[in-house]
Amino acid sequence: MPRKKPNPHHRAARLALAALVPLALGIAGWQWLLGHPEHNPWAPLNLNDPPGWATRAKLARLKGDVSECRAVLERSEVAFTPLAPTGEGPCARPDRTRLGDYPLAPDTPPVTCPVAAALEIWRRDSVAPAARRIMGGEIRRIEHLGAYSCRRMYGDSEGPWSEHATANAIDIAAFVLEDGTRISVLRDWDGDGPKARFLRAVREGACGSFATVLSPDYNAAHADHFHLDQDERWAGVCR
């Protein structure tokens, strides 16, 4: 029996459908991205958008582009003061950005703009919600051990320079709630009580906006603080 000859009209319709389906999916996907700028790598970063798939990559791109990073802070209505560049060589600091409304103590040190942006996201999306959920209170203070220090890693006399040499890092030691409760990395990291769970939650949360997060789990040098930086060399270390 001779095979039935395929109807050329059917074939054309199938081809048209094969071309239209991806096109329709593409348009739908693009429209969805326009409504979800946090997942859209081409949308200008606004820190008030919820965290999304593209957030960390966009934060990473801000490194080295001081004016674009500060434009993001302005667009996101984050208060900050741009300070004049200082230093030279490996400790040159072309980007000194001081947050204007952040509960750091004993002071608010200038950091790089990408660190400032990540601190804002971390406080809003991780630290404040974890304080409410786990500790039942609001954050009054976030105690730090410093941001800028012109030195090599671990204070060695040779080897790579620390991200602290340009204040592209900050060390966080403790959190104080409105009622005075103090949660210290050194004293409260171990165990499974609320303070330890809070510290683990905010350590995990920091990995969403910082390139590198080192905690007591990393090594003994970090027993009393979280090291948070925006160094792309080891991006993804979160321990």
- Beta-sheet pairing, 104-105 with 169-177: unpaired
Closest CA to 114 of 96, 100, 132: 96
Q: What distance in Å separates the CA atoms of residue 163 and residue 63, rounded to the nearest whole number?
A: 12
CA distance 137 to 72: 30
Per CB under 5 A, contacts with Zn ion among 2-41 are none
Single residue of 69, 123, 227, 231 touching Zn ion by CB under 5 A: 227
Nearer to Zn ion, 56 or 222 (CB): 222
Residue list 121-180, contact with Zn ion (CB under 5 A): 169, 171
Region at 141 (left for phi over 0; alpha for psi -120 to 50; beta for the rest): beta
Minimal CB distance residue for Zn ion: 227
Minimum distance from residue 226 beta carbon to Zn ion (Å): 8
Least distance in Å: CB of 167 to Zn ion? 11
Q: Compare residues 70 and 227 and give the one whose CB is closer to Zn ion.
A: 227
Name the residue nearer to Zn ion (CB basis): 169 or 185.
169
Closest to Zn ion by CB, 120 vs 231, is: 231
Is 198 exposed, middle or buried, given 0-12, 13-18 or 19+ CB atoms closer than 10 A? buried
Using alpha carbons only, what angle is made at residue 220 by residues 146 and 203, rounded to the nearest 5 degrees? 60
User: How many residues sit close enough to Zn ion to count as binding (CB under 5 A)?
Assistant: 3
Q: How far is CA 218 from CA 68, 164, 215, 223, in A?
A: 33, 18, 5, 9
Q: Report, in Å, the least distance between residue 29 CB and Zn ion.
A: 40
Phi then psi dihedrals of residue 48, to 5 deg: -80, -10
Question: Which residues within the stretch 102-121 sit at the binding site for Zn ion (CB under 5 A)?
Answer: none
CB of 216 to Zn ion, least distance (A): 13
Nearer to Zn ion (CB atom), residue 124 or residue 151: 151
Q: Least Å distance between CB 164 and Zn ion?
A: 6
- The nearest distance, CB 239 to Zn ion, in angstroms, is 14
Nearer to Zn ion, 169 or 174 (CB): 169
Q: In angstroms, give the least distance from the CB of 111 to Zn ion.
A: 12
Interface of this chain with Zn ion, residues 45 to 64, rule: CB under 5 A = none
Backbone angles phi and psi of 205, in degrees to 5 = -60, -35
Are 110 and 167 a contacting pair, CB within 8 Å? yes
Would you tell me which residues interact with Zn ion (CB under 5 A)?
169, 171, 227
